[in-house]
Amino acid sequence: MINRGHLSDLRGAVRLAVDATLGVTDLVENMHHTIQLRHPPVGASRASHTRGLTGLIYSSIRATTRLVGRGLDAGIAPLTALLAEGVSNSSRDALVAAVNGVYGDHLVATGNPLAIDIGLRYAGLPLDLVNPATALDAVADRAPTAKILLFVHGLCLNDGYWSRDGQNRGEVIARKLGYTPLYLRYNSGLPIAENGRIFAESLEKLLAHWPHPVCELSIVAHSMGGLVARSACHHGHLAGHDWPVSLRKLVFIATPHHGAPLERGGNWLEHVLDLSPYVSPFTRIGKKRSAGIADLRHGNITATAKQFVPLPADVECYAMAATLAKKRSRISERLIGDGLVPLDSALGRHKDSARTLAIPQSRQWVAYGIGHNELLGRPEVYAQLSDWLE
């Protein structure tokens, strides 16, 4: 049965297809003009739009693409309002989360319906921050407690990724230790500082309306989620929020505190490719990646690039890291890590001691022979998490 969500996704997909077609048209025209100019192989490009009949053809392609896109959008929009809301499924949510991770800021800027709105969730239901009892009461066998355990996902993921092989070990731990488990779902393509600010504001509103006075808030964050959590702490402190007083523990799972070399390598490659006008148009594709991905270059958690922000005071902070190597190896830990994040970055270590995060050795844990996203499905990870939270 077709529902409102299906048509909304179709509108979003059509808009993305139109944007992609326009982008490819610009790329081809730019290459065409470069060849016409007989540009030297190295140097700044002078290419822009072509002229004459050639320019008219490219302009016609763009105009036709926009016209078709607007026509389809105008045709689908009225039908969307007539249908029932419908229920999303995990496959759709996973695909939308991945698209948001790569193009999330573009989706927001263009008003694309595929853009994810940040929000807190409970038992798969969105939480009304000023009336959380609506969702809490809907799950009769799970009365809310005065302790909250909040899970924050990473880049291109969503809250559903905390469940693996039909079970959610984090939720089992939360119940065992008397926590109410909550989840943050956010657009991981937006700047980390923006997500952190909204996250902080959401927590301030939620705790003010929670059914019980919250005596303990703990956050478990994977990958980029750890940077978003740190950013929330930073913004909460700057805004004078009350919720940081309740924060007791922060657990980081493979968080790139000092950045990820894969993103730095991609940025370096762009600079190299930009040296040739015949290759530089293709770098525009890579430059379209989201602000969230760009922030992973150095682990930025504020709007000011490379600003160092220490861990929040009076909060117990823990760090889990992984390496694909089966045993300790300085080369693999430094260069490979878990495939995305080096060991030093995940543990908060830095060659400049002033930028090293104060995570005691006793609160660090390293897994060997495990990849970045694989951590979320390993029982030994949750065994360690349970020990720390307990």
> The CATH number of the domain where 237 resides is what?
3.40.50.1820
Asked whether residue 61 is domain-assigned, the answer is yes
Residue 2: predicted pLDDT: 65
Asked whether residue 10 is domain-assigned, the answer is yes
- Domain extent at residue 19: 4-87
Domain limit, last residue, from 37, 69, 87: 87
Asked whether residue 98 is domain-assigned, the answer is no
- Shared-domain flag, residues 382 and 333: yes
Between 278 and 325, name the one with better pLDDT: 325
Asked whether residue 95 is domain-assigned, the answer is no
Q: Counting beta carbons within 10 angstroms of the beta carbon of residue 270, is it exposed (0 to 12), middle (13 to 18) or buried (19 or more)?
A: middle
Residue 39: predicted pLDDT: 60
Residue pLDDT, tens place only, 11-35: 888 888 888 787 777 767 776 666 6
Asked whether residue 179 is domain-assigned, the answer is yes
Categorize the per-residue pLDDT at 119 as very low, low, confident or very high, splitting at 50, 70 and 90: very high
Residue 34: predicted pLDDT: 66
For residues 346 and 320, is the Cβ–Cβ distance under 8 A?
Answer: yes
Residue 43: predicted pLDDT: 55
- Shared-domain flag, residues 167 and 224: yes
Q: Is the pLDDT of residue 376 over 70?
A: yes
Residue 242: predicted pLDDT: 97
- Shared-domain flag, residues 247 and 129: yes
Q: What is the model's pTM?
A: 0.85
- Shared-domain flag, residues 37 and 183: no
Burial call 65-94: b when 16+ CB within 10 Å, e when fewer = beeebeebbeeeeeebeeeeeeeeeeeebe
Between 236 and 325, name the one with better pLDDT: 236
- Shared-domain flag, residues 197 and 137: yes
As a whole number, mean pLDDT of residues 28-45 equals: 63
From residue 144, alpha-carbon distances to 132, 141, 168 in Å are 10, 10, 18
In this structure, what token pair is assigned to residue 378? Answer: 């390993």
Round to whole Å and give the CA distance between 257 and 346.
6
Q: Counting beta carbons within 10 angstroms of the beta carbon of residue 369, is it exposed (0 to 12), middle (13 to 18) or buried (19 or more)?
A: exposed
The count of domains in the chain is: 2
Question: Which residue, 335, 334, 328, is CA-closest to 366?
Answer: 328
Most confident segment among 4-8, 71-75, 79-83, 125-129: 125-129
Residue pLDDT, tens place only, 183-202: 999 999 999 999 999 999 99
Residue 41: predicted pLDDT: 58
Asked whether residue 102 is domain-assigned, the answer is no
As a whole number, mean pLDDT of residues 63-68 equals: 84
Type of residue found at 44: A
Residue 124: predicted pLDDT: 86
Percent of the chain with pLDDT over 70: 81
Residue pLDDT, tens place only, 139-148: 766 788 999 9
Domain limit, last residue, from 38, 68, 87: 87
Between 270 and 134, name the one with better pLDDT: 134
Residue 37: predicted pLDDT: 62
- Shared-domain flag, residues 213 and 162: yes
Round to whole Å and give the CA distance between 91 and 112.
19
Between 220 and 42, name the one with better pLDDT: 220
End-to-end CA distance of the chain: 46
- Shared-domain flag, residues 187 and 250: yes
Which phi and psi angles does 217 have, rounded to 5°? -120, 125
Q: From edge to edge, which strands make up the β-sheet containing 125-126?
A: 125-126, 119-122, 180-185, 147-152, 216-222, 247-253, 316-323, 364-368
**DSSP assigned state of 143:** -
- Shared-domain flag, residues 11 and 148: no
Residue 36: predicted pLDDT: 63
Residue 230: predicted pLDDT: 98
**DSSP assigned state of 118:** P
Residue pLDDT, tens place only, 363-375: 999 999 888 988 9
Residues 6+ apart with CB under 8 A from 343: 321, 323, 333, 334, 337, 366
For residues 7 and 83, is the Cβ–Cβ distance under 8 A?
Answer: yes
Q: Is the pLDDT of residue 351 over 80?
A: yes
Residue pLDDT, tens place only, 288-336: 678 999 899 889 999 998 899 999 999 999 999 999 887 666 665 565 6
Residue 42: predicted pLDDT: 58
Average pLDDT, the chain: 85
- Shared-domain flag, residues 337 and 243: yes
- Shared-domain flag, residues 81 and 145: no
Residue 84: predicted pLDDT: 65
Round to whole Å and give the CA distance between 35 and 21.
21
Asked whether residue 48 is domain-assigned, the answer is yes
- Shared-domain flag, residues 49 and 175: no
Asked whether residue 277 is domain-assigned, the answer is no
As a whole number, mean pLDDT of residues 245-252 equals: 98
- Shared-domain flag, residues 296 and 361: yes
**DSSP assigned state of 253:** E
Categorize the per-residue pLDDT at 269 as very low, low, confident or very high, splitting at 50, 70 and 90: very low
